[in-house]
Chain A
C-alpha cells in the first residue's frame, strides 16, 4: 500500500536526483511536482512489487527525459567550445601519450558503494563540466539513451558526442578517485 505521506517523504530524494541532472532548481522543482502529481493520481496502480522510491524514480525518469529535451534546445544556441577545448584531457597525459600519473586501483569501493555515492559525487563534479558535456553524460549513462538520440537532442555529430562522453567520464573518474584517495571511504 502506498500513501500520500510515503510519496511526500521521497520528495527530497527526488529533488536531489532531478537537480543533479538538470542543474536548474526551478526546472528540477517542476519535474518533481509533475512526478508527485502523477504518482498521487496513480497510487492505486502501484503494485508494491518494487520499493516506493524505485517506483517514483521510474516516473521521474520519464518526466526528466522530457525536461532534458526541452533544456537541450537551450543548449543548442550555445557555442561548441566544450567540444573543442582539449586542454583538460591533454593535462592527464605526457608528451608521448602516457598517463601523467599511475591509475591507482580502486580496491575498496565496489559497485555498490560507487552507486550509493553517485549523486553526491556527480552533483559536485558536474558543476565544473560544460553544460553540454554534463547533459550528454546524463542522457547516456544515467538515462541510458541511444547515441543517435542524444546527438539529435544536443544537435551534435556522433563524433562530437563521443568526445563529450569521453571527457565527462574522465572527469567523473577523477572526482571519484579524489574522493577515495583524499577523503577516505565515507
Chain B
C-alpha cells in the first residue's frame, strides 16, 4: 500500500521517538525514495533534533 506525504511526514516524526514496525518502515523507505519533498523534510527534522539537543547542552 502506498502512503501519501501527510502520512509519511507523521512516520518521519514518529521514527525519531520509536522504532517503526516493519510495514511502516518499508512504506516510508519506498515513499522517501520517490519523494524529494519528504526526503528533505526528513533531513530537516533530524537536523532540528540535533540542534535542539546541542542547544540543550548549552553548546
Contact = CB atoms under 8 A, between A and B. Distances in A.
B14 interface: yes
A93 B6 contact: yes
A6 to B, nearest CB: 14
Interface residues of B, number: 32
A110 B51 CA distance: 9
Contacts of A172: 48
A165 B4 contact: no
A102 B44 CA distance: 13
Contacts of A131: none
Contact of A115 (B6, B37, B44, B59): B59
A49 interface: no
A143 B58 CA distance: 11
A157 B42 CA distance: 24
A48 to B, nearest CB: 16
Given A97-B4, A169-B45, A141 B53 contact: yes
Contacts of B16: 165, 169
B17 A176 contact: no
Interface stretch (A25-33, A37-45, A55-63): A55-63
Nearest to A146: B17
B57 A141 contact: no
Nearest to A172: B48
User: Which secondary structure characterizes the binding site on chain A?
Assistant: helix
Interface string B3-16: 01111011001101
Given A54-B59, A115-B50, A97 B7 contact: yes
Contacts of B56: 57, 61, 141-144
B51 A173 contact: no
B24 interface: no
B18 interface: yes
A114 B37 contact: no
B50 A111 contact: yes
Contacts of A97: 4-7
Interface string B27-57: 0000000001110110111011111111111
A92 B51 CA distance: 24
* Nearest 3 CB-CB pairings of A with B: A57-B58, A97-B4, A141-B52
Interface of B: 4-7, 9-10, 13-14, 16-18, 36-38, 40-41, 43-45, 47-59
